[in-house]
Amino acid sequence: MWGRPEQAVTFVENHDVVRDTPITNDKLLAYAFILTHQGYPCVFWQDYF
């Protein structure tokens, strides 16, 4: 991400991340951040439905 942050894929959670960690307790805030900042935001399908 150092060289080209606008091309980074950003995500809050995926199938490789342990659920209910303190870092992702406020998912709405986390998604608001990645959707409004540089990079390609990736929304995890289980958070979408």
Report pTM: 0.68
pLDDT at position 42 over 60: yes
Model confidence at 44, pLDDT cuts 50, 70, 90, reads confident
Mean model confidence pLDDT for the chain: 80
Of residues 16 and 21, more confidently modeled:
16
Concatenating the DSSP letter of every residue in the chain gives --S-GGG-EEES--TTSPTT-GGGS-HHHHHHHHHHSSSEEE--HHHH-
Output the pLDDT for position 3: 77
Binned at pLDDT 50, 70 and 90, residue 40 comes out as: very high
